[in-house]
Amino acid sequence: MLVSKEASNMSSDEKGPDRILPTDDLTTWEKDGCVKIRKTKDWPANRDSISLPTLVKKQCESAGTQTALAVKRGGQWVKWNYNEYYNAIVTSAKAFIALGLEAHNSVCIYGFNSPEWFFSDIGAIFAGAKAVGLYPTNSSEANKFIINDCECNILVVDDEKSLEKMYSLRNELPTIKKIVMYIGKPDKNVYPDVLSWDDLMELGKNQTSDALDERLANIAINQCCTLVYTSGTTGNPKGVMLSHDNLYWTGMCAHDVIQMRESREIIVSYLPLSHIAGNMVDIWAVLFAKGTTYFADKSALKGTLVQTLQEARPTIFFGVPRVWEKIMEGMLAKGKDVKGLKRKVADACKKAGLDYHLHGKESFLFNLGQKVIYKKIKEALGLDRCVSFFTGAAPINQDVVKYFLSLDIKILELYGMSETTGPHTLSFLNMFKLGSVGKAIPGVKTRFAEPDDKGEGEICMWGRHIMMGYLNREDKTTEDIDEEGWMHSGDLGSEDSDGFVFITGRKKELIITAGGENVAPVPIEENIKTELPCIANAVLIGDRRKFLSVFLTFKVVMDNDSPTNNLTPSAIEWCESLGRKVSTVDEILSGPDVKIMAAIQKGIDRANKKAVSNAARVQRWTVLPNDVSIPGGELGPTLKLKRFQFNKKYNDSIDNLYL
């Protein structure tokens, strides 16, 4: 079915999927547009490219009967080998075409991670269309906009709850031709035109290869195959257009940097596949290495993730900062029960672990810790086979990184965006500095626009990982990518003499005080959280104001994605260290508790001593009764703070601070 040729040797009049359409354009916003592949003479920027269908076929044929995917259903692990994986992709592609999927239109997938998510995603690409993930936390309005924006023909949902939510919009989604549900069977009395996954597979098996062959013949590697919608702070989401070359080239570079081992890597899929991190790691990076993906269940972030980790025992683990924080909080809570000599030995081994990783000091206690502490902790977490531990998508508190270093777990930070197909910089075991997001991946360029006297400026990026553009948005495409093809990130950062990149804040989030001082909020917020371990979130306020203020939230137990009133064990312990017996936020705020308020002020005072100027000192603060959250609208899908939404929601409270 597929013929693999080096893309560099193919001209536009040859058949795909490995052809390159001729163009000198570096960007496009048209659904069937193409862009120039940014090859340079140096490796790996000059790597020859292939289409994703060619890559998938090659890897699946090579891996054969090796396990590709595993999901727990009915209490048992159900597995697909690579041959079965490929057959399911091809079958879904044939079925999608038979259901009316048009070239360059889209298949939207709304549901929790599963093998069927992968089949639908890659099947859409095989069919010459675009794969589009919808965040599980999206509002109906956001889903409606995305589905219509990308001209979705086939909508794939996971279960009846998701189907019910989407079906209510059916009359407002004119491009949808069919809906498919992949968990269970739809009630035909309620949803007569909805297909089950078995229905889809049966339809695909009954099709010839002719229509699919025709679609493959018309694929070009410099056209869009995947859309990742970013949740903007204002306005509608923007569809980041990623080409075959974007995904293939970036994935191969990351694969090389982190030294993925062929046919040995195992990962657990639980982060949203609609986000570039989950999509790139779970679907593509594993495929490049012919590894195995285990799927967590829907309750992964509500407490079941560790159980899945214990059963899958991954070799690579990626967690957004909040996941690492949750793991740490759980371990600290359990650690409270350890007393006496065991506690002293554990504390000494943790200190030795930190000394080893930060200062290279190998000691008897560090070696002892490897035998009696670190190994047992990794086994308890299901991470005893894990070689690489990653974090990204949002800033991580360095105290969290230090905590895990003390347990001989080196959390490797990376930096990138949907617009850079994921990673622009990577840390690795032999390429690590505390507080840094690593070095730029080989073959890309970085510059810091309008740097200050310390070399800090806006991070701008160039390379084959840069997106094609934003679908249907010429204005935003030309705003974020300049005429020379540099992607302007909006992030502020600097680079040290060894090439390590440090992120210092957001250009668009810079607070400009009434006195004209520019203040980066993130370092100040991190300093406050470091001084006050009871605080989950600190949100700095002060744009066009005479001084800075901060809103604080206590660490609380979450119910699904919503904050409760109950303090976490670590927050309770902090209060107990002040001689206060409390277990809820209400208990602290009713009154309020004078001792706790005084301790918070002292923490703010300590953080202020680290301020780079008087203008960067916090003069007023308040505690919110509820933590920020996705349902509350203050956090995005990757748990990043949406400052604009926060300021809008708490506008009256902000004004009251400045009365």
Could you read off the pLDDT of 93-107 as tens digits, one per residue? 999 999 999 999 999
Domain ranges of the chain: 52-219+258-297, 319-409, 512-657
In degrees, to the nearest 5, what angle opens at C-alpha 494 toward C-alphas 490 and 497?
155
Looking at the predicted structure, is the pLDDT value of residue 138 above 90?
no
The 8-class DSSP code of residue 373 comes to: I
Q: pLDDT (tens digit, 9 = 90+) per residue, 16-53?
A: 899 999 999 999 999 999 999 999 999 999 999 999 99
Confidence bin at 657 (pLDDT 50/70/90): confident
Asked if 468 contacts 443 with a C-beta cutoff of 8 angstroms, the reply is no
How far is residue 432 from each of residues 359, 388, 438, measured CA to CA in Å? Answer: 12, 12, 6
3-state secondary structure of 504: strand
Burial of 493 from C-beta contacts in 10 A (0-12 / 13-18 / 19+): buried
Share of the chain above pLDDT 90, in %: 75
3-state secondary structure of 133: strand
Kindly state the helix (H) or strand (E) to which residue 604 belongs, with its residue range. helix 594-608
d(CA 60, CA 90): 12
Nearest to 224, CA basis, from 34, 503, 26:
34
pLDDT of residue 13: 53
In degrees, to the nearest 5, what angle opens at C-alpha 325 toward C-alphas 352 and 649?
145
Looking at the predicted structure, is the pLDDT value of residue 10 above 70?
no
Q: Between residues 461 and 341, which one has the greater pLDDT?
A: 461
pLDDT of residue 636: 77
Asked if 135 contacts 272 with a C-beta cutoff of 8 angstroms, the reply is yes
pLDDT of residue 232: 57
Average pLDDT over residues 565-576: 93
Q: pLDDT (tens digit, 9 = 90+) per residue, 237-286?
A: 899 999 999 999 999 999 999 999 999 999 999 999 999 999 999 999 99
Greatest Cα pair distance in the chain: 78
Q: In DSSP terms, which residues pair with 266 in a beta bridge?
A: 292
pLDDT of residue 638: 67
Confidence bin at 321 (pLDDT 50/70/90): confident
The rounded mean pLDDT for the chain is 92
Average pLDDT over residues 53-74: 97
Q: Tally Cβ neighbours within 10 Å of residue 326.
A: 18
The 8-class DSSP code of residue 478 comes to: H
What class, spelled out in words, does domain 512-657 have in CATH? Answer: alpha beta
Looking at the predicted structure, is the pLDDT value of residue 288 above 90?
yes
What class, spelled out in words, does domain 52-219+258-297 have in CATH? Answer: alpha beta
In degrees, to the nearest 5, what angle opens at C-alpha 233 toward C-alphas 232 and 239?
5
pLDDT of residue 648: 85
d(CA 461, CA 446): 5
Asked if 179 contacts 155 with a C-beta cutoff of 8 angstroms, the reply is yes
Looking at the predicted structure, is the pLDDT value of residue 328 above 80?
yes
Q: pLDDT (tens digit, 9 = 90+) per residue, 609-641?
A: 988 778 889 999 999 999 998 888 888 776 778
Average pLDDT over residues 196-203: 98
Query: Edge to edge, what strands does the sheet with 194-196 contain?
Result: 194-196, 178-181, 152-157, 106-110, 130-134, 224-230, 238-243, 469-470
Within 13 Å, how many C-alpha atoms sit on residue 226's CB side? 33
- Helical residues (DSSP H) of 64-187, grouped into ranges: 82-98, 115-126, 140-149, 160-167
Residue 606 backbone phi and psi in degrees, to 5: -65, -40
pLDDT of residue 11: 46
d(CA 178, CA 449): 47
Looking at the predicted structure, is the pLDDT value of residue 5 above 70?
no
Looking at the predicted structure, is the pLDDT value of residue 535 above 90?
yes
* Alpha carbon 194 to chain centroid, angstroms: 31
* Alpha carbon 356 to chain centroid, angstroms: 30
Average pLDDT over residues 401-416: 96
